[in-house]
Amino acid sequence: IDYVLEPGARHVDVFLELRSETASERSAFTLHGFMHTPRMPPYAPGVGFDAGGEDVPWLGFADERGTSFAYWQPGRDLGAGLEVSGFFSVFTRGIVAQTCSENRTHHARIAIGGPGVDGLNRAVWETRETAYREVAGTVRDGDGPVAGAWVLARDANGFLSRTRTGADGGYAIALPEDATAELFAFREGGPPSAAVSASGATVDLDLGGGGWVHVRVTDVDGGALPARVQLFPMDGAVDRPGSEHGIPSPRSGRYSIVYPEDGEATLRAPAGPVRVVASRGYEYELVDRTITVPDGGTVDASITLERVIDTTGVMCGDFHIHTHRSNDSGDDATDKLRAAIADGLELPVRSDHEYPGSFAAEIAALGVERFAYPLGSIEMTSFEAWGHMGVVPLERDPTLVNAGAPRWQTYPTVEDPDAPIVTRSPPEVFRMVRERPSHPVVIINHPTGSTNYFGYCGYDRTTGTIARPDDWDEDFGLVEVFNSDDWRSQLDGIVGDWLALLASGRRVYAVGSSDSHTLSRSPMGYPRTCLRFGTDDPRDLSPEVVRDALAAGHGTISGGIFVDAWVGATEAGDEASGLGTQAEVRVRVQAASWVDVDAFDVVVDGAIVETIEIRPEDADPLVPTIRFDGTVTVDVAPVNGFVLIAAYGDRSLEPVHVGRTPFGVTNPIFLAR
């Protein structure tokens, strides 16, 4: 492969040299693949950011803050290909290797431009010798010029281009010379402007009226509090540009969602009544208020959030969070951290594919050390081999390949260029991981399915057999039982596998994580793993303290509901002994008033032995967020006995976590006669 950059050119040419040693001509289709596309989404003429379903002349990959690039194959359209987990591809036909000869093929051309779509389009059109013109103007609303507004261009065939206004509300955008185009503007907090013909050189756009909502969120003592702040229309309808324009949506039915670490935000909204919702995760009550936005003015909304759940000595983590370092996520790390803190996570754990890291730099930059602790981690990703594993703790080492990602394969290196590519067995890799200086623990992430660990090894929970015993590790103690899932939806899935492992005598503990790749669709902290540390200050934590609490199963899983259980003084992860044939289990179920709780299951030795309805009258009259606090009696098996409690509701966690069902589960308490 040759890459050619001619002097003064804005593009790179890619040539393939093919040698055919056969007596017949060879031809083939070509798959052109691109990685990290959530970070730089692909677009194409006409279809815009809905690219992927039809033939297009070229593809652009846009970064609004940096260099962008476009790709095409001279003389051929790019045909629809495959899209999966951040990988985007197109096909072309016609690559030919002539008989018994060397063949040089012009494989591709890559144009470099940017930042963003407008800058890239100019580079593409210059390279492809497409004439274009520039249109300039100003975007205004009732108060004057609007900074940061989107300016979007389209014609009869669809998407043409987009750009943003500067600090003075001005913009300039390039359009094909022969396009009969129109422009319109958009910003969060209101509808798009009316479309205006772009036939002239100057086009001004008007976003119309509206006002501002200034929100200030504090705790009961008046201190600034990180929070999730959302603005809703009263009728639930939000007018936004179509998906072909590639403007991320905060979530359907919302004007905006922000996560101010100091609790303060000013948001645009149409004039008239709007709904403001402020929240801080599951341990706080939320405030849901209707206010009236003045046209051309600002309305203040001072909101106090009350902490109503007793989690003394406990802090909660999400051990599976992706950012733009992962091929299949485009989320900015600082944005992700702000959202995690706003939703009440004290342990937001960055878990990118094949690259260790933490949120340490972002926590320091925002000055939020009292709210969050940075723990290094990685999602060790064997792709379609034997699954994905969380490794905790693991800090990046910039002197090593991929910052020290565990090597689950052997492969050629500078020192050994002839080394074979061999996939190592999981027990071998796990052993290498555990021998690192930080002695990490391994979490078996989302283990079901043929390409994940339990499926790959052929674990059969009914018989307890393993189809690939040499690949089965006898020492793992942590399983991501809840991956953006709840208790009841997984009873016949991974929950059943976990209970079967426990019933067989394995002391394996559950972890609950979001596996969040896209913040707008996958909220962090649903669910979360809440661990007993004996402190409520993240600054008291260390990698070793977190690792040991996690490995010991000293915690519960919360998807909105907090469940605690005790056998005497023994809590989750530990063993109560000297019990006789029966034991009394104290169960406490807590939830804020906006979280639905209907019942809890009592699980003994892997089976649900009782389901207890939680009625309104069960709540503590003095502390109504304690929905249940009582005892149940369970049998104690001669060996391998355990009990765990799972509570749940059936109404969604709206308006905070859309489409998520509330639940809470303890890790097992082991029972011995």
Q: Nearest 5°: phi and psi at 495?
A: -60, -45
The CB density around residue 417, as the number of other CB atoms within 10 Å, is: 7
Provide the token pair at 97. 């290797």
> How large is the average pLDDT for residues 303-314?
98
The terminus-to-terminus CA distance of the chain in angstroms comes to 70
Residue 94 above 80 pLDDT? no
Q: Nearest 5°: phi and psi at 403?
A: 55, 25
User: pTM of this prediction?
Assistant: 0.95
- What topology does CATH give the domain 211-304? Immunoglobulin-like (2.60.40)
> How large is the average pLDDT for residues 174-188?
97
The CB density around residue 425, as the number of other CB atoms within 10 Å, is: 16
- Token pair 């790390």 is found at 333
Percentage of the chain lying above the pLDDT 90 cut: 89
At 392, which helix (H) or strand (E)? strand 388-392
CATH homologous superfamily for 132-206? Immunoglobulins (2.60.40.10)
| 422: β partners | 410
The CB density around residue 370, as the number of other CB atoms within 10 Å, is: 10
* The dihedral sign for the CA sequence 163, 166, 169, 174: negative
Q: How confident is the model at residue 568 (pLDDT cuts 50, 70, 90)?
A: very high
From the number of C-beta atoms within 10 Å of its C-beta (0-12, 13-18, 19+), residue 74 rates as: exposed
Please tell me the predicted confidence (pLDDT) of residue 534: 98
| 171: β partners | 137
At 547, which helix (H) or strand (E)? helix 543-551
Q: Where are the domains of the chain?
A: 2-127, 132-206, 211-304
Tell me if 274 sits within 8 A of 291, measured CB to CB: yes
Provide the token pair at 536. 């409520």
DSSP state at residue 56: B
- The DSSP string of 312-338 is TTEEEEEEEE--TTSTT----HHHHHH
Please tell me the predicted confidence (pLDDT) of residue 623: 98
Strands 626-635 and 582-590: antiparallel
Residue 95 above 90 pLDDT? no
pLDDT digits (tens, 9 = 90+) for 58-81: 999 999 888 999 999 998 999 988
Residue 174 above 90 pLDDT? yes
CA–CA dist 76, 58 (Å, integer): 9
pLDDT digits (tens, 9 = 90+) for 511-561: 999 999 999 889 999 999 999 999 999 999 999 999 999 999 999 999 999
Q: In Å, what is the CA distance from 560 to each residue of 118, 197, 291, 596? A: 44, 50, 27, 9
Please tell me the predicted confidence (pLDDT) of residue 462: 96
Please tell me the predicted confidence (pLDDT) of residue 249: 83
- The DSSP string of 189-214 is TSPPPPPEE--SSB--EE----EEEE
Q: Which amino acid is at 51?
A: A
Q: Which of 12-16, 53-57, 324-328, 639-643 has the lowest mean pLDDT?
A: 53-57
Residue 369 above 80 pLDDT? yes
Dihedral Cα 342, 347, 348, 353, nearest 10 deg: -170
DSSP state at residue 46: B
Q: Which amino acid is at 564?
A: D
DSSP state at residue 44: B
3-class SS letters over 216-273:
EEECCCCCECCCEEEEEECCCCCCCCCHHHCCCCCCCCCCEEECCCCCEEEEEECCEE
Q: How confident is the model at residue 397 (pLDDT cuts 50, 70, 90)?
A: very high
- The DSSP string of 81-121 is EEEETTEEEEEEEEEEE-TTEEEEEEEEEEEEE-SHHHHHH
CA–CA dist 540, 128 (Å, integer): 59
> How large is the average pLDDT for residues 488-512?
98
Residue 342 above 90 pLDDT? yes
> How large is the average pLDDT for residues 657-666?
97
Dihedral Cα 96, 97, 102, 106, nearest 10 deg: 20
Percentage of the chain lying above the pLDDT 70 cut: 99
CA–CA dist 412, 627 (Å, integer): 59
Provide the token pair at 316. 């909660």
The residue among 652, 487, 643, 630 whose CA lies nearest residue 557 is 487
Residue 54 above 90 pLDDT? no
CA–CA dist 356, 283 (Å, integer): 30
Tell me if 599 sits within 8 A of 592, measured CB to CB: no
Q: Within 13 Å of residue 13, how many CA atoms lie on the same side as its CB?
A: 13
Residue 625 above 80 pLDDT? yes
Q: Which stretch, 99-108, 381-390, 470-479, has highest mean pLDDT?
A: 470-479
> How large is the average pLDDT for residues 569-589?
98
Tell me if 99 sits within 8 A of 151, measured CB to CB: no
What rounded mean pLDDT belongs to the chain?
Answer: 95
> How large is the average pLDDT for residues 304-320?
99
Q: Which amino acid is at 579?
A: L
The reply to whether 211-304 shares the fold of 132-206 is yes
> How large is the average pLDDT for residues 406-411?
94
Q: Which amino acid is at 670?
A: F
Q: Collapse the DSSP code of 90 into the 3-class scheme (helix H, G, I; strand E, B; otherwise coil) and give the result.
A: strand
